[in-house]
């Protein structure tokens, strides 16, 4: 655990990432996300599925706001999570992004948590369940932390993030 997490623990309980967000992984993630190279999603999802995963009841892909989904045409987290559906149920509905936030990539690290505050809603009953949240990249963890806060409010007992790439703050 990092010093920040010890001082102010996140709402999620753990994170597993396949790779660091650096060359060539960063280019592959960007190709999926911004150039719609959808063939990369099953590759990423298959690699996540090959990890020794914690026992989870449900996988929740990181939701996109409907406007961003319409603009992009797909949710990369949903596409990545499809490979996990063979092992555990994937919730494609129920957790929603209700606030169309500024893209986190354009914000200073200190403003990211404020940007996503109140961005999610969940109408699933997650009482006592262990949840895996799937996303492509974790930088500060602000978005994952806010979604975890909402999922725990919906009753989740444990939240484990499954991430393709983790950016390391230097």
**What does the DSSP assignment read for 13-28?**
-EEEEEEES-TTHHHH
Residue 83: which CATH number? 3.40.50
How high is the pLDDT of residue 129? 97
Structural domain span for residue 160: 3-166
Number of domains forming the structure of the chain: 1
What is the reported pTM?
Answer: 0.92
* pLDDT tens digits along 14-57: 999 999 999 999 999 999 999 999 999 999 999 999 988 779 99
pLDDT at 108 over 90: no
Structure tokens at 47: 């690699």
Closest CA to 41 of 82, 11, 72, 92: 82
* Contact yes or no for 23/168 (Cβ under 8 A): no
pLDDT at 106 over 90: no
Report which of residues 168 and 72 the model is more confident about. Answer: 72
Residue with tokens 């990432």: 17
- In the chain, the percentage of residues whose pLDDT exceeds 70 is 91
pLDDT at 4 over 70: no
Structure tokens at 165: 């790439």
Residue with tokens 């592959």: 28
């Amino acid at each position: 655990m990092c010093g920040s997490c010890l001082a102010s623990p996140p709402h999620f309980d753990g994170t597993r990432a396949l790779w660091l967000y650096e060359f060539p992984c960063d280019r592959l993630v960007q190709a999926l996300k911004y150039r719609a190279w959808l063939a990369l999603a099953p590759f990423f999802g298959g690699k996540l599925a090959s990890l020794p995963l914690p026992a989870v009841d449900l996988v929740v892909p990181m939701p996109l706001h409907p406007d961003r989904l319409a603009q992009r045409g797909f949710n990369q987290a949903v596409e990545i999570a499809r490979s996990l559906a063979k092992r555990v149920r994937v919730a494609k509905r129920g957790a929603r992004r209700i606030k169309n936030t500024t893209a986190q990539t354009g914000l200073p690290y200190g403003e990211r948590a404020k940007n996503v505050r109140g961005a999610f809603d969940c109408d699933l009953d997650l009482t006592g369940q262990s949840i895996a949240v799937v996303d492509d990249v974790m930088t500060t963890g602000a978005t994952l932390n806010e979604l975890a806060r909402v999922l725990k409010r919906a009753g989740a007992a444990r939240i484990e993030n499954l991430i393709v790439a983790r950016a390391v703050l230097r």
